[in-house]
Structures are given as C-alpha cells and as structure tokens.
Structure 1
Amino acid sequence: MSQSLSPAVSIARDLIRCPSVTPEEGGALAFLETLLKARGFTVDRPVFKDADTPDVENLFATIGSGAPHFVFAGHTDVVPAGREADWSHGPFAGEIADGILFGRGAVDMKGGIAAFAAAALSFLDKAGDAFTGTLSFLITGDEEGPAVNGTDKLLAWAAERGHRFDACIVGEPTNPDALGDAIKVGRRGSLSGVVSVEGVQGHAAYPHLADNPIPGLMRLMTALNDVVFDEGNERFQPTNLEIVTFDVGNPAFNVIPARAEARFNVRFNDSWSQETLRDRITQVLTQAAGPDLKWNISFRRDGSDSFLTRDEALIAALGKAIEAETGRTPELSTGGGTSDARFIKNYCPVVEFGLVGQTMHKVDECTPVADLDRLAAIYERFLESYFAASVQG
C-alpha cells in the first residue's frame, strides 16, 4: 500500500484498479486474499456453478475462534463502466483528484470493503493477543449479476463447515446525502413476473380474421396497475407494482401480432409474503381476464421476502459509532432495493451501512477520500464496542 495514502484509501484504489465486472473476478478477490493472508486470516476461494449462469469466484476469510462471530459481507463485482470516453477519469484507474477517488465500484461497493478491511486490520493490531472471538469476511463476485452463485451459496458453504455467525454488516452505500444518514435495518421484498396473452396473427385490414392480443393485455395490466396493495406501516413504505415492459415484437404496421407480453416488478412490505402476493396478483388478473381471454402468468424464481432486523445491540452499537464519528443520528431505514442481506438474514441479524450512494452505477462514480477514512473509523469503533461488549457479557 502507498505510504502517502491512508490504508482505507489505498485498498479502495487498488480494488478499483481490478476490472471485476460481473462475473469476472478481475483480480479483486486475489488482492484481498493476499492482503488478509498476510495478516493471519485463513482464506478460502470457493467457486460455485449453476445451470445457465456463469461460474463465480467468492472469498471467505476468517480469523480467531469461538463466539462472538462477526462477519462483514459485500461484493467486489461491479456493473459495466459504459463508454469509457464519458468518464473524466478512467473507470478502472483509481485516480484521486481534489480529494475525490474516482472509479467503478468506489461506492458500490469496493469503498465499503476497503474501509472495513482497514478497520479490521487496525482493530486486530491494537487488540493483539487480547482479541477473543471470530472476525470474518464473506465476499462475493455475483451481487450485481444473477446472485445465484454468490452470497446465498457461500453462506451455505460456510454453514456446512461449522461457521455460525452472530451478526453481520453489509457495506452497501446506504446514505442518501451524507455519511451517517441511514442504517438499513431491513428491506422490502421483491417479486417479478411476466404476463402474456395469446391471439391470432392477421392482416390489419382484416381484423375479423385475426385476434389482437394487445387490448386484452392492456386490460390485464391496467387492472394490476390500479391495485392498492396496502398503505404501508410504521416499518415499511407501501407496496408498489411497476410495469417495466410491454412487448409485442412487431416491426410491421399492417400485421396484428399473435402474442403480447408485459413484465412487472413488485416491491412489497411485511404485509405480504411471496406466496400471498402471487395469489393476489393471480386473482386480480383472473377477474380482469374473464372467461375468453387466453392468458398466462409466470413468476421469476429470484424473488425475495421482506425482512426487518430487530437486534437492538447490533443496531445500537453501530448507531453510536456513527454518531461519535459524524455527529449524525442515523435514520433506521427499510427503503431502497434488494441486496445480499436478503440471504444473510436467514443466518444471523444483519444491517447495512456504507458510503453515500449518489454516484453508484453512474459515470464518474466517486467518493471523497475523507468519507472512506471516516467510514473506516466508524467500522473500527463498532468492532471495539461489539467485541468489548461480548467480553464484558
């Protein structure tokens, strides 16, 4: 690591310089393996496979033994950079200009991983032989992709080897405007589906010889769009359904198509499960279709249920660390999209906290280096509190 940069900034820069666009490892996990092994961590690099999805490399690193077992989770894979000419600094150059670190993954989420790595190493150096418990990293290369060969399988792999986690922080960029704005303590669920209507292809001038599927699909999707699922509650915002495509695949003006389909996504709160939501959607469509429309609905297998973390000790320790370093009292939020926390919540209490997310997935993704150092300080303060409480307890 460069002597002129802080550990968090140096690690983030080196990670950004690894072109780890999903599903490519790009050298990012290899870099972390070298860094952590040199400091005494045991590191494994399992590769998971599944039909119709790319193979994905993952990393699990651990140090210590016994309880409590705290794990930091995240991903080194990033979304594509787009046109490199649109960037003011190379997307994988890791350049720093005017106190800002630029590059794909700077906030989502190589910066979070770098801050936690720097915090963990500093914490362990200071604790020395007095450290008791277990500290681990659970890092995937498949969060921005299908999320089939990543965190979900890595958690099962770790459990099969006897690892039992007590708490987890995911380093996703949770803050909307400034570091310390928000901790994610839960997420709404997600359910996607495809609605199709079958017709009979024909000439637009002879509609009596055809059966246009588009009006029927419009009727179905209008019915779905008009549903008020709930009003939300004190924990979650209201459930919303969004129609994301309406496709016919017909380039001609004089042809009635044979088939039309639409796709939708629902973000739902804890008033619903995937099963009850599927039943409600199917009921609405059945009523709107009537007896004669030839229609079908299929739901994607990558849905996830909502969850809410209620571990007051975990939330309080992180909140106090954030307030001490930033002066802000973080909101406890359940907004936004999905993350790999949806898998982790099945194994231990999990919250999410990382950098400011305003530039994630954008051209010129970036973060102030001061935020990286402050985030590392928050994580280190949290680790000191978390492990000290376990010893006192």
Structure 2
Amino acid sequence: MSVADLAQKLISFASVTPQQAGCLDFIQSFLEELHFECWRLPFGAVDNLYARWGKHSPHLCFAGHIDVVPVANPVAWQHNPFSADLKDPQTVYGRGAVDMKGAIAAFLMAAQDVIRSQPTGSISFLLTSDEEGVAVDGTRQVVQWLKDRGEVVDLCLVGEPTSVKQVGDMVKIGRRGSLNVQVTVQGQAGHVAYPENFINPITILMDYLNELKRHPLDQGNELFQPSNLEITSIDVGNPTTNVVVPKAEARFNIRFNNLHNGESLQAYLRKVAAQVSSRITLTTRTSGEAFYCSNPHLTEQIVNCIERITGKPPVLSTSGGTSDARFIKDIAPVVELGLLNAMAHQDNEQAAVSDLNLLQALYAEILSSFLLLKDKSIS
C-alpha cells in the first residue's frame, strides 16, 4: 500500500467531529500488525487511540486528529468528499486530505519503514477525534492519562498542515495563546429624545472597545509576532430607530504571545473595564497559553533532517491558530510539521501525491535520526 492509497482509505471514513466513524478502528488494526500496543481511550462522547511500539528511550510520539470539519457546501465538491477511490493518480482528494489524514498516513508509512531497522527507542501515536470540535475530551484527556501512567515522551511531532509553498518549508515551534471574551454592558432603556432618562450601553461598549484597540498589547519579540485583539461581534438586538436598548454585548479574541498569559490579560481587561464603567461585565475563556519549544537541540535536529531531504532549512514559526500542541507541551517538547495549509477546510480539499511522498520521507528521516541517533545532539 502506498501513502496515497492509505491516505485515501483514511479519508473514506466520514469522521466528522467528534465521530471516529471506523477510522480509529482501521488505524488500530494497521498498528497492531506492526506490533504496536494499543489503548482505546473513550472520554465522554469522544474516542481516542494511543499506541506505542518499543519500551525504551528516546521516545518520539506522533500526535494528530482523525476528525474533520463538516462538508458545508456539498454541491461545490467535484467528487465525493469521503470516497475511498483515487480520482487522479497525482492527487489525494477529500475532506481531511490536508487536515490531517494525509499527515497521519505519511507517518504511519514512515513508522512502518523505520521499524524494519529495529530502532532502540520507541514510537507512539496519539490520535483523537476531538480536535476540530470543542477539544475537551480528546488530546487534553489523553495527555492527563499519559501523565497518570508516568509515560515519558522525549519529542512530540504534530502533523498539522504547517507548510506554505513547499512541504517542509515551515515548522511550528510554538503557538500563540488564545483568549475569548464576552463583554456585556447593562444600561437603561429609554426614548432617544430624552437622554436624561436612559443610559446608553452602546456608548459605554464603544468607549471600552476603543480604549482596548487604542493601546497595543506589545510589540512582539524574537519568537512571536505582536499580540492582537480582534473584535468579532457587536450585538444589541434593536429593530427600532427611536429606542435605546437596555443591554449591549460584544465578543473579541486575543491571540497573545509569551509576554502574557491568560490570567494576566484577564486582569488587564477588567482593569480597563473598571476605568470605563462599572456597568461592564466580562466572561472570559483561555483556550490555550502561548508556548514554544525551548530545546535548541531538538529544533536543530528537525531543521537538519528537513534540510537533508529538501535542500533548504525550514522557517521556524509560531504563527497561525491553536492546535492540540497546546495540551501536549505540558508533557513533552513539541513541534508541528505537515502538508501545505492552503487547502485546509476548503471545498475540494486535496493534496498532491508528491507532497505526501515528500512528507513521508521527512517523517522517516526525523524518526531515523531521533531513534537511531544519527545526530548525537539529541541524546
């Protein structure tokens, strides 16, 4: 079976989050044939799989998700998004081709190849069906399970689509944090002609949001771009033109670098709110803290592996959205490397077979270098 055939087979399982739809069953069978020890880990309505080959260090874990986003516009697709058939010998087509069943297939094939060399270390897979959803009962729970078992992971490689123009041209060595905020301003309703009789919550809300946008959070640093606050919604629910509503709401998100954490930002937001009006209340949720791989030997090893295969060193980046790496960083150094990100979540999602072959080669080189200790800097 080629990596393209395997990727198309994985795509054929319609594992729309949080359903695994038989995909984890298939992968478990594949890994058991390679003598991986497998654990199925259901938490809530989410199914997860952890599998390990080997008992010793160094231990490299591949983490990924088999769940995919829904097909929102089926008529826009040229082919069945969950077909098991390769429509074109040069292309793997379907929902999840890029994000991220193609990467899972590439690592499965790379692991199969490297195991033939009988490495002294260990290879594991951490796969969830809850990355594209609320991400509560997936990787987060499996990480806690690994902690409780005392499992030691020396490096985790996440297969998110990180590449831009060529597979391997960018590696994520960290991610910004993410803070979601709901703002509620309670005013007093009234007729617009009598301002002495109402308190306009919209005015207060605008003052607060303008104050936040007026002052940049930071200028960034050598690892991260500047933190950014973006207003995503303002809601008042007013169908009239002559009535001031009693309440106004807004939502915004902050993608923040390692100069902040969720707690410090929440304190800042509440401080500014208190300065503007006592009528402002905030509801906040930090979905992930900023982090980066602080082990220069590991990142150097990844760079060396990629350069040996592609002839060019990758860009080391912390840009983009969040991923399950935000949970894994609590138990292991983590980096992310995968296919081109342009087609992720798009209609007619697809990946070039040549890109899958290249990614398989990169994963195999990283596995060999790490487990066979080609580069002593990782020992």
Residue type of the alignment partner of 1:27: G
CA distance in 2, matches of 1:40, 1:72: 16
Q: Which residue of 2 aligns with 1:78?
A: 68
Q: Which residue of 2 aligns with 1:38?
A: 33
Equivalent of residue 313 in structure 2, options 323, 329, 338: 329
Equivalent of residue 189 in structure 2, options 184, 201, 206: 201
Q: Deviations over 1:284-325 (max 9, x none)?
A: 222233xxx51111111x432111102233222222221222
Q: Which residue of 2 aligns with 1:153?
A: 141
Alignment map for 1:145-184 (pairs within 5 Å)? 145-184=133-172
- Alignment check: 8 A CA contact 1:68 1:390 kept: no
* Post-superposition offset of 1:252: 3.7
- Alignment check: 8 A CA contact 1:18 1:26 kept: yes
Tell me the secondary structure at the aligned position of residue 182 of structure 2.
strand
**Is residue 336 of structure 2 the alignment partner of residue 352 of structure 1?**
yes
**Is residue 296 of structure 2 the alignment partner of residue 296 of structure 1?**
no
Q: Deviations over 1:12-62 (max 9, x none)?
A: 10111111111111221111111111221111111112xxxxx11111011
- Alignment check: 8 A CA contact 1:223 1:285 kept: no
- Alignment check: 8 A CA contact 2:100 2:160 kept: yes
CA distance in 1, matches of 2:209, 2:31: 51
Equivalent of residue 341 in structure 1, options 316, 325, 338: 325
Equivalent of residue 311 in structure 1, options 278, 289, 295: 295
Equivalent of residue 53 in structure 2, options 51, 56, 63: 63
CA distance in 2, matches of 1:31, 1:192: 36
- Alignment check: 8 A CA contact 2:59 2:371 kept: no
CA distance in 1, matches of 2:265, 2:171: 27
**Is residue 124 of structure 2 the alignment partner of residue 133 of structure 1?**
no
- Alignment check: 8 A CA contact 1:224 1:285 kept: no
Q: Which residue of 2 aligns with 1:52?
A: none
**What is the percent sequence identity of the aligned residues?**
44
* Post-superposition offset of 1:229: 1.0
- Alignment RMSD, CA only? 1.7
Equivalent of residue 257 in structure 1, options 245, 251, 258: 245
Alignment map for 1:205-284 (pairs within 5 Å)? 207-284=195-272
Cα distance change of structure 1 residues 332 and 391 upon mapping to structure 2, 3 Å threshold:
closer
Q: Which residue of 1 aligns with 2:92?
A: 101
Aligned length: 376
Q: Which runs of 5+ in 1 are unaligned?
A: 50-54
Q: Which residue of 1 aligns with 2:106?
A: 115
**TM-score for both structures, normalised by structure 1:** 0.91
Greater Cα shift, 60-69 or 273-282: 273-282
Tell me the secondary structure at the aligned position of residue 96 of structure 1.
coil
Cα distance change of structure 1 residues 208 and 21 upon mapping to structure 2, 3 Å threshold:
same
